[in-house]
Amino acid sequence: MCRFAAIAIGAKYAGAETLGHFWLGLAISAPFVLFFALESRAVYVSDARGAFPFATYRALRTSGLFAATLCIIPFVLWHAVNNGDWWVGLIIAGACADKIALHLADIDWGVYQKRERLDLMAWSNAIRGAAMLAAFLAVIPLAYWMGASQGLKPAVAIAVWVYVIAWIAIWQFYDRPRAEMGEMRSSAPTRAADVWRLAVQAFPLGVVALIVTLCDSAPRWIIEAQDDPATPVDEGAAALGYFGSMEIITRIGTLVIVQVGTAAGHRLSTLYQSDIAAFSRLAWRLAGLAIALGGATFLAFALIGKWFLNLVYGPDFAAFSDQFIVLAAGHSMVLLA
């Protein structure tokens, strides 16, 4: 919700075009980050027998994010040069760093999940959300009221990098110590052979994550590419700004289902090995919740979608209320997946 509030601030003050560069950065980084992450958190949580120590999972995640960063850098530089505006490049780079910083902590959340200490995960996410919202609140409105001479792209770039640095600090001083407590102290030194063996086992999950992510990122690339060089406005970035800002609202149901699934993940893996009937009952309950939540969110957005867009983003976003309802319908069906 804090991310949504921060995006609403960006939409109110900076406009769709500037936000489009932010969404583009997320779309560029997501396929690389999720592929090289190899779903190692899910593998760790489901590793009920402890085939690999946590240190091996941490080493795999760190090396994977390093590889993802090397792949992302050329795309960021190309977009910065192509736009002829290094503030645009900094916004895109900051959004990419957002994704990397989040997945740096994601593997540690697997420890919370396995211990069923979701309160620690909730606090970690809450602090991150507050940091993002505070950065946008402190920087963007101030630059707007001061009449920034270069527009608000510099303010958005600064706000993005402020919260990304805060996220890295949160990982270093909150998540990392709590995850390592009792997990890495008892582990033998990490061996490269074990990291490679784990990577081979998790590789199919990385491919699946890549395919799923491309279904979300590729349309954003296409939207951003629709630009007319004869116009002073980057129409592709503006279109992506509208799309991304409306799409994040429709993820409310997804957020709830993901949190419920996260809470149930370790229990499902345990029940699958010990009590298949209880596993089936829990799985069906989760499916029923997804159906009910999907229907409720779609109905709500169909009734008040235009009014809501005008309230949180402004009239230029409310003009796309019909497209917003289509997005809401799609996300309602995706909840079952």
User: How high is the mean pLDDT of the chain?
Assistant: 86
d(CA 151, CA 228) in angstroms, rounded, equals: 21
Least confident range from 70-79, 210-219, 328-337: namely 328-337
Say which range, 109-118, 130-139, 236-245, has the weakest mean pLDDT.
109-118
The enclosing H or E element of 240 equals: helix 235-249
Mind listing the pLDDT tens digit for each residue in 290-311? 777 778 878 888 888 889 899 9
Closest-CA residue to 79 (of 121, 34, 42, 29): 29
pLDDT score for 75: 94
Reported as a pLDDT band with limits 50, 70 and 90, residue 186 is low
AA letter at 5: A
Enumerate the domain spans of the chain.
2-229, 250-337
Pick 205 or 299 by higher pLDDT.
Answer: 205
Using the predicted structure, report yes or no on whether residue 33 has a pLDDT greater than 90.
Answer: yes
Higher pLDDT, 232 or 74: 74
Is residue 180 pLDDT above 90, yes or no? no
Instruction: Give the mean pLDDT of 205-234.
Output: 84
Q: What is the pLDDT of residues 153-177, one digit of tens each?
A: 999 999 999 999 999 999 999 999 9
Q: In the prediction, which pLDDT does 184 show?
A: 57
Confidence of residue 69 (pLDDT cuts 50, 70, 90): very high
> What is the Cα–Cα distance from 18 to 178, expressed in whole angstroms?
37
Which pLDDT score is estimated for 259?
65
Which pLDDT belongs to residue 103? 95
Quick one: which of 141, 159, 129 has its CA closest to 9? 141
User: How many angstroms separate the CA atoms of 322 and 335, rounded?
Assistant: 21
What pLDDT, on the 0 to 100 scale, is given for residue 100? 97
* pLDDT at 262 (0 to 100): 63
Predicted local distance difference test score (pLDDT) of residue 181 = 80
Q: How far apart are CA 55 and CA 148, in angstroms?
A: 47
pLDDT at position 195, please?
A: 92
CA dist 135 and 153 (Å) reads 14
Q: How far apart are CA 226 and CA 242, in angstroms?
A: 13
* Phi and psi, residue 169, nearest 5°: -65, -40
Q: What is the structure's pLDDT at 109?
A: 92
**For residue 242, what pLDDT is reported?**
93
| Per-residue tokens: 116 | 């069923």
pLDDT at 301: 83
What is the pLDDT confidence band of residue 149, given thresholds at 50, 70 and 90?
very low
In this prediction, residue 337 has a pLDDT band, given cuts at 50, 70 and 90, of low
* Residue 34 or 314, more confident: 34
**Of the candidate ranges 17-26, 121-130, 232-241, 257-266, the one whose mean pLDDT is the lowest:** 257-266
Total residue length of the chain: 337
What confidence tier does 324 reach under pLDDT thresholds 50, 70, 90? confident
Q: Residue 214's pLDDT is what?
A: 94
